[in-house]
Structure 1
Amino acid sequence: MAAACAEMEPAAAPPPPPSPPPAAAAPGSAELVCAQGRNLKAVLCQRCGSRVLLPGAATFARRELLLPAMRKKAAAAAAGGGGDGDVVREHWLVRDMFSFENVGFTRDVGNVKFLVCADCEAGPIGWHCLDDKDSFYVALERVAHE
């Protein structure tokens, strides 16, 4: 039973372009975004501290996405993305999967793969729709910054 990407997220509208930071960034994210809208700090796994992205590798974006509750990769895949979760609105948008330093992907859940830490498999920390090969979203609230 394949679910369309639009069914996996609350917002039915197409994704908006990245927000112009830092003025548009929320108070908690303003110190993380440079004038060009890119991440000022390295992005790390909250659990093990593994480096996910280098500074400048992603662009700040706002988009409402539903992510399952944090858990290990095997449990997230078994849950099928259903059940409890969180609506997240602030993300690092990565346009090339080779920009990641260290990230893993769950099995397909409909048209979606969830991003997890490649070292400890904590996640999901982000979301990738298989219909859009060039958009990987990493939720700011699911990662640490250094």
Structure 2
Amino acid sequence: MSETEASSAVSEDTTKYVEEGKNKLIVKCKFCGSKILEKKTATYISQEKELPLMQQDVNRKEGEIQKEMIKGYFHVENMYTFENIGFTHQVDTYKYLTCADCDAGPVGYFETDSKHSYVALSRVVQC
């Protein structure tokens, strides 16, 4: 399943991931399995935001960043809520979130103005 298909599937049925508005299960990196969030520590929000693809096409133009629209995020108000997360350098008013163990990402983004984080459901696994 492509990242775009996964994004669509998540937005259609959130009941297996969300309970009482919070993440129902532990959120982990889909590549290395590192724990990112404990159960019920983030709030689900249905919003659309464009993120760079996790794997860029090697045949793209020099300097071009391929992106996709993602719908469905876990909102984290305090960055200390995370079990394991990394931050990129600032791009405009954002920092992208990555797995602190394997550097896979971006799995979401951090707003430098509000200090809130958003983890894309389609970029992580839950168990």
TM range (shorter): 0.7 to 0.9
Matched, 1:29 2:10: no
Q: Distance in 2 between matches of 1:56 and 1:41?
A: 7
Q: Distance in 1 between matches of 2:67 and 2:14?
A: 22
Match of 2:99 in 1: 117
Give the 4+ runs in structure 1 shifted more than 6 A.
none
Matched, 1:49 2:33: yes
Secondary structure of the equivalent of 2:16?
Answer: helix
Match of 1:145 in 2: 126
Question: What are the ranges of 5 or more consecutive residues in structure 1 without an aligned counterpart?
Answer: 1-24, 73-78
Secondary structure of the equivalent of 1:123?
Answer: coil
Q: Distance in 1 between matches of 2:49 and 2:117?
A: 12
Question: What are the ranges of 5 or more consecutive residues in structure 2 without an aligned counterpart?
Answer: 1-9, 57-62
Q: TM-score, normalised by structure 2?
A: 0.82
Match of 2:67 in 1: 85
- 1 or 2, which has the higher strand percentage? 2
Q: TM-score, normalised by structure 1?
A: 0.72
What is the alpha-carbon root mean square deviation over aligned residues? 1.7
Q: Distance in 1 between matches of 2:108 and 2:13?
A: 19
Structure 1 segment 62-81 matched on structure 2, within 5 A: 62-71=46-55
